[in-house]
Amino acid sequence: MTTPFYVPPEQLVKDRADFARKGIGRGRPIVVLQIGSGILLVGENGSSSLRKIGEIYDRIAFAGVGRFNEFETLRVAGVRYADLKGYSYARGDVTGKGLANAYSQTLGQIFSHEMKPFEVDIVVAEVGRTIDGDKLFRVQFDGTLRDATHLAVLGAQEEEITERLEAQYDPEMGLQDALRAACDAIEAATEHTVEVDAWECAILERDATRRSFRRLDESEVAAARS
Amino acid sequence: MTERTTEVGPLRLGEAVPDASFLSVLEHRGASPTWDLGPGTASGMPEATTILALTWPGGVVMAGDRRATAGNVIAHSRVRKVYPADEHSAVAISGTAGMALELIKLFQTELEHYEKIEGTSLSLEGKANFLARMIRGNLALAFQGLIVIPLFCGYDVNEGTGRLFSFDVVGGRYDELHYATTGSGGQEARSFLKGAWSPDLTQDRAVATAIEALVAASEEDAATGGPDIRRGIFPTVVTVTQGGVVELTDDDIASVAASVLEGRP
């Protein structure tokens, strides 16, 4: 007969957290930034078809780093959750807070009950009519839910990128300036240059009447980088 | 038997939905809209009547009147029957109004859902086929008198042209080259368009022609409402071009309707 090992819960949680952090820390960074015209999402992504940033609903976007299949599962579940809610009730009833809460519950559940935790870190961004109405929710691999102000950074070199951006953050920044600042901060912190076509950028446009999510095309990124 | 679950529950990861369709999500959760009539036929439900669409070289114009009738009663006089389906297409529905409106909402959600899950839009033909599938799913009810028949049009970005599709009650899907109409006043509108359509219409002419066709239908069909300038009730008109779907404002339509009415015998 085999005797089960005793593992103290502190150790178990720590091991799981270390495991998840290791995966996430390798993920290429994503920056989410509140600016006058909306919420800007910028990430480095070598693939043009596997997205890390996505549209969830009229005014809500999703960004994830870590294992692609895991945050993609979360994104798809989020789209289904939002579309079902909007279809059953009304479009205005779909909120970033509700979605972030759902993610938090789900990730918390997985962290403590599944074989292995999800190696993901995600942001749910909701653009308001004014910048004060914006919401940035950060959900971590263990279900920790926090709200961020001004900006959120995910993935490798998180702290350094945050520091660099905090230093020059100005809510009045235009789209181009914000894009340039975000790209520069990521490049400087990760110490390598990124080709123009390897940036994945999108914005939730504050003035949009319905669907506010728009991907920035290469020419827009190029203009900000030149 | 599948267990009926709540529609909007907590987040479900890795749900076994077979494709990127919103309808499949609803089916999977046992939450698709159903109208279970039981035996017998339905009657007396409000019905939406005349809708039409016509092409011009730069795109398509789609229009519908605002009246819904139940038997000989005007049930609603400001119903909307024409809606943008997504950025590059529009849909209009005639038949049992309550079901038609639900179907439109479902169709709009479907297109958006697919786009978000897959990262690309369905092709125009794909959208038309999906709409046909939805109509086909309604066949049993159609035989009980709850008929829903749409028109669908859009700008085919791949082919660079406006296209127009009509449907029948079993979900048959037909490409229309010039114009299409359905609803109780559809026959009359079609006769009008037969004489008025020409291959070199401008968008403004196409809009005026659409409104005049509705006026012609309203003159012959009691279930079709014409423009009511006194009460400010005007047909719904949308245009679809390369630039996307545009809904005309009441003010725009009012001035066209006024000049159309002026010219009528």
Question: Which pLDDT tens digit goes with each residue over A76-135?
Answer: 999 999 999 999 999 999 999 999 999 999 999 999 999 899 999 999 999 999 999 999
How high is the pLDDT of residue A109?
A: 93
In chain B, residues with a C-beta closer than 8 Å to the C-beta of A55 are 116
The reply to whether B217 falls in a domain is yes
CB-CB under 8 Å, A83 with B109: yes
Nearest by CB to A102, from B11, B15, B109: name it: B11
Question: Which pLDDT tens digit goes with each residue over A6-53?
Answer: 889 899 899 999 999 998 988 899 999 999 999 999 999 988 889 999
Question: Which pLDDT tens digit goes with each residue over B185-225?
Answer: 999 999 999 999 999 999 999 999 999 999 999 999 999 99
The reply to whether B1 falls in a domain is no
The reply to whether B11 falls in a domain is no
In SS3 terms, chain A reads as CCCCCCCCHHHHHHHHHHHHHHHHHCCCCEEEEEECCEEEEEEECCCCCCCCEEEEECCEEEEEEECHHHHHHHHHHHHHHHHHHHHHCCHHHCCHHHHHHHHHHHHHHHHHHCCCCCCEEEEEEECCCCHHHCEEEEECCCCCEEEECCEEEECCCHHHHHHHHHHHCCCCCCHHHHHHHHHHHHHHHHCCCCCHHHEEEEEEECCCCCCCEEECCHHHHHHHHC
Residue A65 in this model has a pLDDT that exceeds 80: yes
The reply to whether B8 falls in a domain is no
pLDDT-above-90 percentage for chain A: 88
* Residue B97 belongs to domain spanning: 45-263
Mean pLDDT for all residues in chain A? 94
CB-CB under 8 Å, B13 with A73: yes
A34–chain B nearest CA distance, Å:
23
The reply to whether B40 falls in a domain is no
How high is the pLDDT of residue A207?
A: 96
- Low-confidence residues of chain B: pLDDT under 70: 1-9, 40, 42
Domain count within chain B: 1
Q: How many contacts does A have with B, using Cβ atoms within 8 A?
A: 60
CB-CB under 8 Å, B13 with A79: no
CATH of the domain at B249: 3.60.20.10
Q: Hey, what domains does chain A have and what are their CATH numbers?
A: 27-225 (3.60.20.10)
Q: Is B182 a catalytic residue?
A: no
How high is the pLDDT of residue B139?
A: 82
The reply to whether B88 falls in a domain is yes
The reply to whether B66 falls in a domain is yes
